[in-house]
Amino acid sequence: DTAVSQTPKYLVTQMGNDKSIKCEQNLGHDTMYWYKQDSKKFLKIMFSYNNKELIINETVPNRFSPKSPDKAHLNLHINSLELGDSAVYFCASTHLNGEQFFGPGTRLTVL
């Protein structure tokens, strides 16, 4: 029973391509997040949705577009991929006490 799942786990693609990452949680949480973790392990929040509504939209290029079809799903679409987009992307959802539960991560490599 995976609590937060992401697909794909690995994504290798060429510069300029468009790609999507999917996230699903079965914890019944209302709030979900996307994070980017760079090579130095620093975690940067990108977006947060609460019950399908965008509540956090950090300074992220508008090539990144989140979509939440329902409160259990939060997908991330990236247009015109650049070398600097290479990173690990984590999805997370949050319990009422603020504790966040993370998905396994998607390692994106842009060539």
Q: Rounded to whole angstroms, how far apart are CA atoms 34 and 21?
A: 10
User: If binding is defined by CB under 8 A, does position 28 make contact with other proteins?
Assistant: no
Joined together, the tokens standing for residue 32 give 């979900």
Q: Rounded to whole angstroms, how far apart are CA atoms 89 and 81?
A: 14
Question: Which residues touch 13 (CB under 8 Å, ≥6 apart)?
Answer: 19, 81, 108, 109, 110, 111
Smallest distance from other proteins to CB 104, Å:
5
Q: Rounded to whole angstroms, how far apart are CA atoms 53 and 71?
A: 9
- Which residue lies nearer to other proteins by CB, 3 or 15? 3
Site for other proteins in 72-111 (CB under 8 A): 90, 92, 97-105
Smallest distance from other proteins to CB 74, Å:
14
| CA distance to 21, 32, 38, 69, 109, per residue, from 66 (Å) | 10, 11, 19, 10, 19
Q: How many residues bind other proteins (CB under 8 A)?
A: 22
- Which residue lies nearer to other proteins by CB, 73 or 104? 104
- Which residue lies nearer to other proteins by CB, 7 or 104? 104
User: If binding is defined by CB under 8 A, does position 18 make contact with other proteins?
Assistant: no
The footprint of other proteins (CB under 8 A) covers 31, 33, 40-43, 45, 48, 50, 55-56, 90, 92, 97-105
